[in-house]
Structure 1
């Protein structure tokens, strides 16, 4: 006799979509790395049959890859970190903060390896009128993580702690870079562009009718093409290298140099190189060319 309490069978046949998501849900449970290949196979099949569109497929694939990557795979290297010296007055730091456009800055004391905290640019908004402010009062405690940490673990820690930036250290305890929540999310959803990002990774930006800012890593060939000048590139490849050769020493913040009808002012530098320069045209282009436009520079 049939069980009167047994549920009625579902007369609806399982659709391909329901079948796919049931399989995907089962595969996404904690599993050894070998099972990830099964997940990827299901995703590829779903994408091939238009169950998943290209964007969804890319995001889920990115989420799977995050579990396989470590901080060392995506971090900003130590040499590219924009740091603030806690001993400098706020008035001296503001041009650098404005030029780089970051929302967070690691802060060091004495030596660049001695990171004492992180300064949030938004914390400066209520103190802009106080140029004598010691930024030490605004510095938040730093978060240090090993370069071997998995990205999925780091994303969980970012969410739980509400931190958005961590300092990366190597096995010897030395600073080797930094990583942000945006860096991790970009591994899943792709590049997150803002007003400071450029799809072609340009390093020259217009700031006025006759002025620009340029990164020290700008290739001389690109700079010459943008400004229609002929900076020599026999002994160096970058704008920083050329300026160091011209000055005879590592460029220092605030230094100004004029050449080829242009004025170069260092607005951001560390102990090894010029990071940002302000460029101003002093006269007509060297070879009667045109100055770079926002679209081409």
Structure 2
């Protein structure tokens, strides 16, 4: 008499793979997703997956649920080259930004001429008679509703790194790079142009009366540096208190004033703020909520 394998015996606990298969094929879509994530987290607890592997798998699942409008850089924060301005002005601004690709406009975003690569800026700098318009690459436009997983496929297929996001009327509302999408999977990607230096104590003077700080800066460190007295019984970091006052995850462009300091969120992901711009607010200013 041939007995069944131990895993199929009555009362035997299903294996990780059995639970994973059941979550994918034998549950309604919403329940299947929850069961799948629970199985992955159990696998991490049991040592089958590392923390990093779980983080990235959850990121892959997440990008199929997010659209371009969820993570795009708002139009007001796009670093573009405006060829209606003097060349020395936009060359200087482009150099200071540290970006490798720029949308090129004439006047405003209603007239997008194309994209320019940073290496072309060097040529323009060395040759004053260089005609920028003759070396532009075609700009890629995507709808605000485009899922990130489809966008990532298009970036790969078309060898593109940047796309301009448009609304239903064709107006540019934001910008996305392939790095922005990948950060949803692997976490924040810092490069040599990221200006906030952790060795500087998380706080870097940007200009007179303006500083860039990491959102993970502890309230004690912030208070000591600025001679401030910001406290919160529920938060330990500046990013935490920003999220607490907003009552949601901060987004790039969010602004609010706390105890005489004006904060603007420069970088954030769907979990937390990353980098903030800080300046002292006028004495008459009081605490404010997020601004559109």
2:167 to 165, 170, 176: 170
Q: Does 1:63 align with 2:60?
A: yes
Determine the C-alpha separation between the residues in 2 that align with 1:60 and 1:153.
17
**Equivalent position SS for 2:183:** helix
Determine the C-alpha separation between the residues in 1 that align with 2:131 and 2:210.
28
1:157 to 154, 159, 165: 154
TM-score computed with the length of structure 2 as normaliser: 0.60
Q: Does 1:117 align with 2:114?
A: yes
> For residues 221-266 of structure 1, what are the alpha-carbon distances to aligned partners after superposition, in whole Å with 9 as ceiling and x for unaligned?
x9xx68xxxxxxx999489xxxxxxxxxxxxxxxxxxxxxxxxxxx
Equivalent position of 2:180 in the other structure: 183
Preserved CA contact (<8 Å) 1:40 1:61: yes
Matches within 5 A, 1:91-110: 91-110=88-107
Preserved CA contact (<8 Å) 2:67 2:147: yes
Determine the C-alpha separation between the residues in 2 that align with 1:118 and 1:92.
18
Preserved CA contact (<8 Å) 1:86 1:109: yes
Preserved CA contact (<8 Å) 1:86 1:108: yes
Determine the C-alpha separation between the residues in 1 that align with 2:62 and 2:72.
16
Matched pairs, number? 209
Shift in CA distance, 238/57, structure 1 to aligned 2, threshold 3 Å: closer
Preserved CA contact (<8 Å) 1:218 1:238: no
Shift in CA distance, 22/238, structure 1 to aligned 2, threshold 3 Å: closer
Uncovered stretches (5+) of structure 1, i.e. residues with no partner: 1-10, 206-211, 227-233, 240-297
Uncovered stretches (5+) of structure 2, i.e. residues with no partner: 9-14, 214-221, 227-258, 265-292
Bigger Rg, structure 1 or 2: 1
Shift in CA distance, 61/130, structure 1 to aligned 2, threshold 3 Å: same
> For residues 85-138 of structure 1, what are the alpha-carbon distances to aligned partners after superposition, in whole Å with 9 as ceiling and x for unaligned?
123454332211111101111111132332221111123344541023221122
Shift in CA distance, 105/28, structure 1 to aligned 2, threshold 3 Å: farther
Determine the C-alpha separation between the residues in 2 that align with 1:140 and 1:43.
43
Determine the C-alpha separation between the residues in 2 that align with 1:85 and 1:215.
28
Preserved CA contact (<8 Å) 1:145 1:166: yes
Shift in CA distance, 88/56, structure 1 to aligned 2, threshold 3 Å: same
Shift in CA distance, 214/107, structure 1 to aligned 2, threshold 3 Å: farther
Preserved CA contact (<8 Å) 1:217 1:238: no
**Equivalent position SS for 2:126:** coil
1:41 to 38, 43, 57: 38
Matches within 5 A, 1:14-25: 20=16, 24=20
